[in-house]
Structure 1
Amino acid sequence: MEEVLTEGKNFKLVTDSELPEIIDFLSNYLPDSIKFHQTLKTYLKDHVWDFHFYVTKTWPEQAVILHFPGMTRTPNGKLYESFSVFCPCDQLENIRLLTDEDMLIDWTQPIYMNFTHAKIMEKIEELYGGTMEKLTGEVYCQIDEKIGNEEECNITVFAEDAEMMQLSPEHAQIIHDLYPANHMECVEVFEKLIEKLPCYGVFSATGELAAWMVQSYYGAMFSMQTRPEYRRKGYGLILAKYLTKLVKERGYMPFVVIRPENDASKGLYAKLGFKKYFETVRAILRPHEMSSDAQGGGGGGGTQQNGH
């Protein structure tokens, strides 16, 4: 098993007992910090996956926080090969501490960055000496809006005989098989999410899984898909409305990551009071001398991008 380092050159490992204070700090930077803020909350509450969080040794004066490993599948599956980062957008000069980190991060090898605020990624790109492959998403949050009245949220009306139920781990394989970016995620991710978090599916009259949506380890709703033969029946809206309600009840701010060209999803979430707040980027950083035909980490599709 790979050794977990207690510190790097500029960063130190955070203990679980320190996380509530860090969550409080990040709450001052919502919605920009939403992915990290809710990843920490979900980690403490449900421990869906093993993460290791690091903050600067000068935290919070220089407020940069990292989490390893990212959820993106990487060629070597190393602990420090994939990660995510947050820094307040008015303190981006502190990102230099990341590019100067030569103990936790091996900058001579490809780095797989999980969805990170676009302004932070722009700063990394400015400082990085290699090339970058990027995939952009738009973060939509529901901050102040209500999802109709309580009675409306609790009633699901289908145009035909169908039923919405919590998924079970046995459904993970089919969801993974049909997930557009399944080359980047292992089926165990979906098994853990279904086991620990609200993950619902719409089942047809014959018992077939027709549509589904899950809450992710970072508090967002993602992987919403409807099989082609069951589209235009309102399943997506019913799932999104119900999951939004559950996410809020569990103490999270509902948000989704949507591809810029996906007007259908934007229209669906607009009906539920979601608004765009910022862009986020998933990227692979490669040193200039690395071959361009190494494994890619972009991709994706479907109704939403996976925000891992």
Structure 2
Amino acid sequence: MELVPEGKNFRLVQEEELPEILEFVEKYLPDSLKFHQTLKTYLNDRVWDFYFYVNKAWPEEPVAVHFPGMTLSPNGRTYESFSVFCPSDELDNLRQLQEEDVLVDWSQPIYLNFTHHKILERLEDYYEAIGTLEKVCGDVYVCSDPPVDMQLDELCPEEAELMQLKPQHAKAIHDLYPANHMECVEIFEKLINALPAYGIFSNGELAAWMVQSYYGAMFSMQTRPEFRRKGYGIHLAKFLTNVVMSRGYIPFVVIRPENDASQSLYAKLGFERHYQMVRAIFRPHGHKADGD
């Protein structure tokens, strides 16, 4: 893979610049949360090779992107997917991205990972003449003030045990991950090796699990159907919330708007909705969907 050092409007951030970029983006929390913690996790753990770019007028006109935006795309190209940060009150600067024709090929399908909805809306206005968007929405719930009494309930040791996951569990977790067409099995193996990743095992069988993501969020919490209604989900959520905070991260989750059960669960743990993010496929007119 040939790394592109600069595009029309953006340049590759050098290693020694990354801490300063992180400090700058931190000023825009919580709106910048996903981009900020992707960069923070990259600096701390290097679970994936991301490449961060800022526009050439940075920081006077702050727009930052990273490629790839996700770990799996149809053709596996680095510049086929991206994620973007821009302050919500400076969205006019997104013209730098709209005019970018080296790093971003707007004439081909391109994949935007979860990004602040205001950014997506501005890009959608621009893209209307080029093609259509396929969108998935998720609400960002942030735990900035956890309940003081958030204690773990005891699991019955004869039935269930909380343990760190191992790489051999990655495939089973990936198979049931709702967005497994956008994240590869390898990233789950790397997350399990490098970041908090726990499962509840019932009589030796993996019953429920949760992992801290490369973008800092607590994600992929699932309970197998036969083990539901045993309190495993809230047990994992409480545990991971404490672990993530102890590592210096802001606990947050992305929840689909129709997922009332998850919204209720995290509300009990002090998570509050802040804004919506959108994942999108930009598909130019005349390009068929994958598999068509």
TM-score range, shorter chain: over 0.9
Provide structure 1 residue ranges, at least 5 long, that are not aligned to the other structure. Answer: 297-308
Give deviations 1:36-58, integer Å, cap 9, x for gaps. Answer: 11011100000010000000111
The 1:209–1:131 alpha-carbon spacing in structure 2 relative to 1, beyond 3 Å, is same
Q: Distance in 2 between matches of 1:19 and 1:72?
A: 21
Give deviations 1:180-223, integer Å, cap 9, x for gaps. Answer: 22233211010011010000000002x00000000000110000
1:196 matched residue in structure 2:
194
Q: Distance in 2 between matches of 1:13 and 1:253?
A: 27
Q: Please report the TM-score for the alignment, with normalisation by the length of structure 1.
A: 0.91
2:220 to 219, 223, 229: 223
Q: Distance in 2 between matches of 1:159 and 1:230?
A: 15
2:231 maps to amino acid: G
Q: Secondary structure at the match of 1:120?
A: helix
State the Cα distance separating 1:20 from its structure 2 match.
Answer: 0.9
1:144 matched residue in structure 2:
145
Give deviations 1:82-101, integer Å, cap 9, x for gaps. Answer: 01001000000011110100
2:114 maps to amino acid: F
Give deviations 1:159-200, integer Å, cap 9, x for gaps. Answer: 962100000101101111222222332110100110100000
2:226 maps to amino acid: E
1:12 matched residue in structure 2:
11
Q: Secondary structure at the match of 1:224?
A: strand
1:304 matched residue in structure 2:
none
Q: Secondary structure at the match of 2:198?
A: strand
1:242 matched residue in structure 2:
239
Contact 1:107 1:287 in 2 (8 A): yes
Q: Distance in 2 between matches of 1:141 and 1:156?
A: 25
Provide structure 2 residue ranges, at least 5 long, that are not aligned to the other structure. Answer: none
Contact 1:12 1:55 in 2 (8 A): yes
1:51 maps to amino acid: F
Contact 1:147 1:272 in 2 (8 A): no
1:52 maps to amino acid: Y
Q: Distance in 2 between matches of 1:191 and 1:63?
A: 34
Q: Distance in 2 between matches of 1:17 and 1:280?
A: 30
1:306 matched residue in structure 2:
none
Q: Distance in 1 between matches of 2:182 and 2:215?
A: 17
Same amino acid, percent of matched pairs: 65
- Counterparts in 2 of 1:60-139, with a 5 A limit? 60-128=59-127, 129-139=130-140
Q: Distance in 2 between matches of 1:72 and 1:135?
A: 17
1:279 matched residue in structure 2:
276
Q: Distance in 1 between matches of 2:67 and 2:95?
A: 18
Q: Distance in 2 between matches of 1:19 and 1:244?
A: 26
Q: Secondary structure at the match of 1:89?
A: coil
Contact 1:142 1:255 in 2 (8 A): yes
The 1:175–1:275 alpha-carbon spacing in structure 2 relative to 1, beyond 3 Å, is same
Q: Distance in 2 between matches of 1:143 and 1:63?
A: 26
Give deviations 1:10-61, integer Å, cap 9, x for gaps. Answer: 0000012111111111111110000011011100000010000000111011
RMSD (CA atoms): 1.4
2:178 to 174, 177, 180: 180
State the Cα distance separating 1:148 from its structure 2 match.
Answer: 2.3
The 1:220–1:158 alpha-carbon spacing in structure 2 relative to 1, beyond 3 Å, is farther
Contact 1:193 1:199 in 2 (8 A): yes
Give deviations 1:107-165, integer Å, cap 9, x for gaps. Answer: 1100111000000000000111321110000000011234525xx24x64349621000
Q: Secondary structure at the match of 1:222?
A: strand
State the Cα distance separating 1:72 from its structure 2 match.
Answer: 4.8
The 1:176–1:272 alpha-carbon spacing in structure 2 relative to 1, beyond 3 Å, is same
